[in-house]
Amino acid sequence: MRVLQAFRYAIDPTPAQERACRSHLGARRFAFNWGLALVKARLDAKARGEDVRVPYTLPALRREWNRAKDNAAPWWPENSKEAYSAGLDGLARALKNCFESRAGKRAGQRVGFPQFRKKVRRQSVRFTTGAIRISDRTHLVLPRLGRMRTHEPTTVLAECIQAGTARILSATLSIDCARWYLSFTCEVERGERQPTRPTSVVGVDAGVRYLAVLSTGETVDNPRPLPKAHRQIARLNRALARRQRGSGRWKDAARRLGRAYARVAHIRADAMHKLTTRLARTHGTIVVELLNVSGMLRNRRLARALADASLGELRRQLGYKCFWYGSQLIEAPTFFPSSKTCSGCGAVKATLPPSAQVFRCDHCGAAMDRDLNAATNLAALAAVSVTGSGPEALTARGRDVRLAEHGEQSQMNREAGSADAQKTGAAVLQGAAA
């Protein structure tokens, strides 16, 4: 089967290359803002009753850009044309989302009119044509930027390409907390696989206290550096507060704080990847919650946000990994009371205080760990789904295919880089050759 897969590498550009990389990010932002200014001016003119055409689509924006670029940005040949194209593409998408949202054709939160892009912590630019390749174990080649050193070996992808099982479709250059990355989007041919225990069913409860609790009774701990990192973050936050906002020393402190946060996010993301790969490779059926019902009950705001993000990432990764490894992913219906139901007798409690770490059943007297109880209830859902009476028996393939694509798509959207894009994805998606 053929899937889209991202391979992400940290890279170490030379100082000259780094300047060129920054220039490309700047060029992308410039093109976006230039296009937005043009659209706004044309809309104003139209409102005044003038007969003008507003360039909403990428081809229209590109035509306008090519006509105007010699005047608007005489330095344009310094960067690959892909940089400007990426900026205009981002604008065209933002406009489309906004209009569809206004017309009620788009689900989810309302999307506002695009705003001018500022320099943000996380930016990216995507290359789709020209010389994009892996040149050896530790180097890759990009148009205009040339041969760049990778921070980690590219062996896995290089071997797949050599064997003809992977083809690079595009490359996205990005910066996050002063670290440069290159992500290759590839079409990968994957062999049909089966999980090692095809009949095994596991329920997974993602949370804060633990990274995850499995219905098998296993608790997967949060990665260990977290408490230490939290102390460091608290210290850096205090240091930041003592500096004068906007000063050189303030910027320095802010950068250090950003890196500390990024490190925590990376460590967590890595642990999550390892967990989801192991689950998808081992168990035939995996059941997760759609909403973090048990996580929501713990009332601290931060904890809740973390749990939600954690569950979202767990589901996103399991979505495509289950498809890769031939296992089945089942999502519990929205209001399934996984943490209020007794996994022993099925009695449902009216309330369960957020602080209660142990579930005590009023009906049969059973007592067990709250998260384990929730995970066990999730696993039990699989039996219902298989007999077909389950409310949302999302069995496998068709569903998983879409999830796999969605996973990649959202990864790309993230790389296309809105400012508050999720801060997780550090680890290279694993398991291409494995």
Give 21: exposed, middle or buried? Use CB within 10 Å, 0-12, 13-18, 19+. buried
- From 54, 156, 366, 380, residue interacting with Zn ion (rule: CB under 5 A): 366
Nearer to Zn ion, 281 or 340 (CB): 340
Element (H, E) at 328: strand 328-331
128-161 burial: b if 16+ Cβ within 10 Å, else e: eeeebebeeebebbbbbbeebebeeebebbbebb
Choose, by CB under 5 A, the member of 46, 224, 363, 406 that binds Zn ion.
Answer: 363
Give the binding-site size for Zn ion (rule: CB under 5 A): 8
Candidates 342, 382, 404, 421; binder of Zn ion (CB under 5 A) is: 342
What one-character-per-residue DSSP string does 124-187 give?
Answer: EEEE-SSS-EEEETTEEEETTTEEEEESS--HHHHHHHHTTSEEEEEEEEEEETTEEEEEEEEE
- Kindly state whether residue 368 participates in binding Zn ion, applying the rule CB under 5 A: no
* 179, 134 contact by CB (below 8 A): no
Give the position of tokens 């409690």.
349
Question: How far is it, in rounded angstroms, from Cα 332 to Cα 267?
Answer: 28
Active site residue 205: yes
**27 touching Zn ion, by CB under 5 A:** no
**Which residue(s) pair with 331 in the sheet?**
288
Catalytic residue among 176, 289, 408, 415: 289
According to CB under 5 A, which one of 37, 364, 383, 419 is a site residue for Zn ion?
364
Q: Which stretch binds Zn ion (CB under 5 A): 213-221, 281-289, 340-348, 391-399?
A: 340-348
Taking the least distance from each CB to Zn ion, the nearer of 367 and 384 is 367
Measured CA to CA, the distance from residue 36 to residue 41 in angstroms comes to 9
**Closest separation in Å from C-beta 384 to Zn ion:** 18
Choose the catalytic residue: 205, 313, 331, 400: 205
What is the spatial distance between Cα 213 and Cα 207, in angstroms, rounded to a whole number?
8
What letter represents residue 220's amino acid?
Answer: V
Which CB sits closer to Zn ion, 234 or 383? 383
Q: Which is nearer to Zn ion, 333 or 365 (CB)?
A: 365
Q: Work out whether 358 is an interface residue with Zn ion (CB under 5 A).
A: no
The piece of 156-164, 239-247, 357-365, 380-388 that touches Zn ion (CB under 5 A) is: 357-365
Comparing CB distances to Zn ion, the nearer of 52 and 364 is: 364
Q: Which of 176, 313, 331, 371 is catalytic?
A: 371
Q: Can you say how many angstroms the Cα of residue 23 is from the centroid of all Cα atoms in its chain?
A: 25
Minimum separation from the CB atom of position 340 to Zn ion (A): 11
Query: Could you tell me which of 228, 210, 232 has the C-alpha nearest to residue 219?
Result: 210
Q: Which of 279, 361, 381, 382 binds Zn ion (CB under 5 A)?
A: 361
Residue 42 structure tokens = 């044309």
68 touches Zn ion by CB under 5 A: no
- Specify the stretch interacting with Zn ion by CB under 5 A; choose among 120-128, 135-143, 163-171, 364-372: 364-372
One of 26, 344, 354, 431 touching Zn ion (CB under 5 A) = 344
**Which residues lie near Zn ion (CB under 5 A)?**
342, 344-345, 347, 361, 363-364, 366
Which of the residues are catalytic? Answer: 205, 289, 371
